[in-house]
């Protein structure tokens, strides 16, 4: 029974762009951490092993749901397959206080074992999706897109970037091998933008290359090197406007650093293609979600 449920979860994860096996491993490791090599002493002592309950994950706030698939994996493992998902919202659903995000019927001890681990994933990922949605809404009507960074929780990057997508944002590279980004320290080490760009192109001819610049006068060198994506690091709204006019569509532009929620629209209106917001993943508060348990006789 457990393997059947887990296979279904892996298939669903794949349809969401997630690695199902990795998701199961994360859920398993989280439960093992919570058990600490022992058992759930409170539940084992107070609840009959054959007791059945219904667990409802209910939102206490407005937001965007994300991480439902992980919560299901945690419950499936904690209940050893003795669980049925009777109500499930779609990932990325808008939710309000009182919205039931996920409802599961299963072994009571298992459901309570799963509670904190499932909520940790669900609250964290829904928080990221919700914050991302706020940023996306703030720049609506412009061509700019909200994009994440690699400032993610170790081990949770795939899930956190998934939550960004559920909130309407877009993903930057997932790893250092996905694409090259020539940053200031690379420029120093290589002796300039042009030699750094040439060396990457020679070694990885098909790799996408982004160039970070922190001065307007570096734009010409980045364009001459062949960059089709340029990151404008810690530039003001006025400097970004100047950069857009100078580049004139010859490369895509990404504004990064120093952007607040209050200034996001002004940056988006400059004509840049992306706003890179590290806070989507490194500073998003958890969304308030709780588990309400209903006992069955």
Residues labelled as active-site residues: 116, 151, 183, 212, 233
| DSSP β-bridge partners for residue 210 | 181, 229
Whether residue 18 contacts residue 5, with contact meaning beta carbons closer than 8 Å, is answered with no
Whether residue 243 contacts residue 253, with contact meaning beta carbons closer than 8 Å, is answered with yes
Distance between CA atoms of residues 213 and 235, nearest Å: 9
Half-sphere exposure of residue 231, counting CA atoms within 13 Å on the CB side? 21
Q: How far apart are the first and last CA of the chain?
A: 23
The label of the residue with tokens 């400059």 reads 270
Whether residue 131 contacts residue 282, with contact meaning beta carbons closer than 8 Å, is answered with no
| DSSP β-bridge partners for residue 100 | 58
Q: In the structure encoding, which two tokens stand for residue 182, read together? A: 């020539």
Residue 91's CB is within 10 A of a number of other CB atoms, namely 21
| DSSP β-bridge partners for residue 54 | 105, 294
The label of the residue with tokens 């500073």 reads 283
């Amino acid at each position: 029974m457990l393997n059947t449920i887990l296979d279904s979860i892996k298939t669903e994860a794949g349809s969401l762009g997630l690695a199902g096996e990795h998701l199961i491993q994360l859920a398993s490791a989280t439960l093992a951490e919570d058990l600490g090599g022992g058992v759930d002493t409170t539940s084992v002592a107070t609840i009959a092993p054959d007791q059945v309950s219904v667990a409802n994950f209910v939102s206490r706030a407005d937001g965007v749901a994300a991480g439902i698939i992980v919560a299901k994996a945690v419950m499936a493992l904690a209940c050893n397959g003795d669980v049925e998902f009777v109500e499930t919202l779609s990932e990325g659903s808008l939710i309000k206080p009182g919205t039931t995000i996920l409802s599961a019927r299963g072994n009571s001890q298992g459901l309570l074992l799963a509670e904190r681990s499932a909520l940790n994933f669900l609250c964290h990922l829904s928080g990221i999706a919700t914050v991302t949605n706020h940023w996306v809404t703030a720049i609506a009507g412009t061509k700019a897109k909200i994009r994440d960074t690699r400032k993610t929780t170790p081990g949770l990057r795939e899930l956190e970037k998934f939550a960004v997508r559920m909130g309407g944002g877009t993903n930057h590279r997932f790893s250092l091998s996905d694409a090259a980004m020539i940053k200031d320290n690379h420029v120093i080490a290589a002796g300039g933008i042009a030699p750094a760009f040439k060396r990457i192109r020679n070694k990885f001819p098909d790799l996408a290359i982004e160039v970070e610049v922190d001065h307007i006068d570096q734009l010409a060198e980045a364009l001459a090197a062949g960059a089709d994506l340029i990151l404008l690091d810690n530039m003001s709204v006025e400097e970004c406007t100047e950069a857009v006019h100078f580049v004139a569509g010859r490369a895509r532009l990404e504004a990064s650093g120093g952007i607040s929620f209050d200034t996001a629209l002004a940056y988006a209106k400059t004509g840049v293609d992306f706003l890179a917001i590290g806070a989507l993943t490194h500073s998003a508060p958890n969304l308030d979600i709780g588990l309400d348990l209903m006992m069955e006789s």
